[in-house]
Amino acid sequence: MKKFIKTNWHYCALALLFACAEPEIQREKQGEQITPDPVASKSDDTNAKNPGPGGGVLMQAFYWDVPAGGTWYNTVKSKLASWDAAGISAIWLPPVSKAQNGPFSMGYDPADYFDFGNYNQHGSLETRFGSKTELQSLITTAHNYNIDVYADIVINHNSGGDLEANPNTGTNTYTDFNPASGKFYRSYNDFHPNGYANNDEGIFGGFPDLSHSVPYVQDWLWKRSDGVGKYYKNTMGFDGFRFDYVKGFGGWVVRDWMNNVGGFAVGEYWDGNAQLLQNWVNATNRTSSAFDFACYYRMDEAFDGNNLNKLNDDMLWKRDPSKTVTFVTNHDTDVIWDKMHAYAYIMTHEGYPTVFYRDYEEWLDKSKLNNLIWIHRNKAVGSTTILYTDNDEYVAKRNGSPGLVVYLNDSNNWVERWVETNWSSTTIKDYTGNSNWEPTTQSGKWVKIQCPPNSYTIWSPK
């Protein structure tokens, strides 16, 4: 998708400190079991190569309308050392091939899949983001830090073709593509309607709709050794793919791509219905993850709507955590105002969490995000049990080792609550520093924890 909605966000938290209190009266709460344990890393090293027992963190390394002029690849490259130190394990780049709007395009109107800023066409030599040489240098540098690089792939539609007579429509259509790279020429027979199919699942923005049923198109996209998928992965060095607007074509397309090309995949199936997200993942034969839009919208309702009970609702991570990518905002949509609560949620729950470039570099407290990234990678292990919810409070635990208990408070007051942990007779602490309590769990594993106003605490053994 292509539209970016910009919002300003301000986060305020009071950091009052209480002295440690001894447990008093135990209040039992019923726990809700969510999912089985994911596979955990065996390494305690938490750089990008060894992301720790909690797993890695993805950085969306762009936003809508990043500065033009061919400087963006170098900007991202300059951030890699600090991102690696923070624990970022992969970056997602915008579409890297030349698009119809050349130096002004964000890449979602693709024209020549093999022009990475090295052919003078569509008004420029470089793309908006830079040259092919700069892109290759960025990928190489990321790999030197053991950071994976994901390419944004737009294969639903094309843009920038010449006008030609189209016997399939009886009109003239912009479907004559003569790329300067000399690869993947296209004509009216490669778009809908044609002799193979009249249409597929969706058309975007009136652009010519690429037909994946055509054998020639399949060859160039994922079958040929010099085709798009294999060239991006084996020659350019991309480690995975983010598939744009996957509502526009069948899940079998991603399935066949991944079976032929390999690597990591996540699809943008923009829908808040967790069942539909699961259906799409299944349609790819589980070769691809999906962005958890269900989680995204429930977080907005919970944190901005002051109803943390919404976090009990259905989300993809509760159904299929190993195929879930969670996020707080992206280049298309930015509706959550209470972002620190949302980041505390995705960094402590199952799924592959994403950090948005502007949140990290411009809008939020970087030290707090770094703290949450560290907690995710070192503590967020095991299945999830929701311990308590109401409008203002939410408590959940991760059941692995070391595991954690996260306490979210959306009220204007300090709150305390007795919870059942996985630790017996163990001293725990809040790894966010928002509380200075260091209580010891009872032999029955119960303990009283606290959380400041409009804040969060995350507890784990010392």
HSE-up of residue 448 (Cα within 13 Å, Cβ side): 13
Give 224-252 as a DSSP string: STTSHHHIIIIII---EEEES-GGGS-HH
Residue in 126, 244, 300, 334 annotated catalytic: 244
- Cis ω on the peptide bond leading into residue 193 (within 30° of 0)? yes
Whole-number Å distance between alpha carbons of 284 and 287:
6
268 counts as catalytic: yes
- List the beta bridge partners of residue 164: 173
Tell me the chain's radius of gyration from C-alpha atoms. 24
Please name every residue paired with 290 in a beta bridge, in sequence order, or none if there are none.
267, 324
All residues at 6 or more sequence positions from 271 whose CB lies less than 8 Å from its CB, including other chains: 247, 277, 293, 294
Q: Known binder of ligand: residue 200? A: no
What sign does the dihedral 283-241-351-106 (CA atoms) show? negative
Angle CA 395–399–291, to nearest 5? 75
- Residue 304 designated active-site: no
353-385 residues labelled b (16+ CB within 10 A) or e (exposed): bbbbbbbbbebbeeebbbbbbbbbbbbbbbbbb
Q: Extract the tokens encoding 79.
A: 């951030």
DSSP annotation of 308 reads G
Torsion of CA 126, 129, 134, 135, to 10 degrees: -110
If you search the block for the tokens 């409070």, which residue do you land on? 393
Q: Is 285 annotated as a binding residue?
A: no
Handedness of CA 115, 233, 353, 294 (dihedral sign): positive
Identify whether the C-beta of residue 126 lies closer than 8 Å to the C-beta of residue 70: yes
Chain mean position to CA 433? 27
- Strand 393-398 and strand 384-389: pairing? antiparallel
The catalytically annotated residue of 109, 190, 268, 334 is 268
| Residues making up the binding site | 156, 392
Q: Which residues are catalytic?
A: 244, 268
| Residues making up the binding site for Ca(2+) | 156, 392
